[in-house]
Amino acid sequence: MMKIFVAGHRGMVGSAIVRRLNALGQTHIITRTRQELDLLDQQAVMDFMQSEKPDQVYLAAAKVGEIHANNTYPAEFIYENLMVQNNVIHAAHQSGVQKLLFLGSSCIYPREVPQPMKEEMLLTGPLEPTNEPYAIAKIAGIKLCESYNRQYGTDFRSVMPTNLYGPGDNYHPENSHVIPALLRRFHEAVRQQAPEVVIWGSGTPMREFLHVDDMAAATVHVMNLDAATYQSHTQPMLSHINVGTGVDCTIRELAETIAKVTGFTGRLTFDTTKPDGTPRKLLDVSKLKSLGWVPSIPLEQGLSEVYRAESFKF
């Protein structure tokens, strides 16, 4: 039986990948908690890889956070992500890992870029300043995989997901992303019978959202493509693949859907004194579609399922 190491299995992304592999009948999945294996420790990672010798590695471990965290701790965001990537990818090569899949983020693309964002837009302009350290680390991860492939003939691949939501998300009142933040805010408004919910910005920016279980299915799909198929749709120095729905909605539409899901019937008020951020962020997913994968969880259905399953955390 194939041995698969999922790095970061306790996070929202890593746990979804484990669920997907289990659903496909994969029984030999190797995991380690942060206490059991510090991915910042190069020797510990090398010893683990040499001992376990996994056939495949999913690199879902990362230091992640929203705008405030990225702005407050830029050194940690670039250092820790670079170190984890370097240690895992290098040790995978040294240990003869057959396939590795590196998970990045759509923030790798320049701030001012044509929409939807094609893979070819990488490194064509300045990044969004608020998350530049994190984006630089993720770009370095892509290039690390490509460099090992070119020099050593490894089969290390990269996928770049859009904004994710789903089981295991962070619902902290101050430092969560837009979907968990709104789910919590609307839930509390219903519980307190509040007459309105105030939402930052004008409600006009457009965003793309993908259920994490769809992301996991796409990730496993890309990992399991035969090498010839993967290489025919990518280039040695442009090998990453966007993962998203290819469909976006306004923040207002998102808020209206969440109001419906949570049963909130009051007013939606948009605070236009607060920043909107980038007007639009949408991935071009035509490459992934041509490789035979499309998402299966519509946004309202996904939000309803998440709310029913996760509202106890609010």
**HSE-CB of 85 using CA atoms within 13 angstroms:** 28
pLDDT in tens, 127-166: 999 889 999 999 999 999 999 999 999 999 999 999 999 9
Does residue 175 have a pLDDT over 90? Answer: no
pLDDT in tens, 105-127: 999 999 999 999 999 999 999 99
Taking the mean position of all CA atoms in its chain, how far away is CA 2?
25
The response to whether 239 counts as a known ligand-binding position is no
pLDDT of residue 283: 98
The response to whether 65 counts as a known ligand-binding position is no
The response to whether 200 counts as a known ligand-binding position is yes
- For domain 4-167+208-246+282-298, give the fold: Rossmann fold (3.40.50)
pLDDT of residue 260: 98
* Residues annotated as catalytic (active site), given as ranges: 134
Q: Which helix (H) or strand (E) holds 199?
A: strand 196-200
CA separation for the pair 60, 53 (Å, rounded): 18
Report the Cα–Cα distance between both ends of the chain, in Å, rounded.
40
- The residue ranges of every structural domain in the chain are 4-167+208-246+282-298
**The pair of three-digit structure tokens given for residue 34, joined into one six-digit string:** 């942060």
pLDDT in tens, 9-56: 999 999 999 999 999 999 999 999 999 999 999 999 999 999 999 999
Written as one letter, the residue type at 236 is: P
pLDDT of residue 174: 75
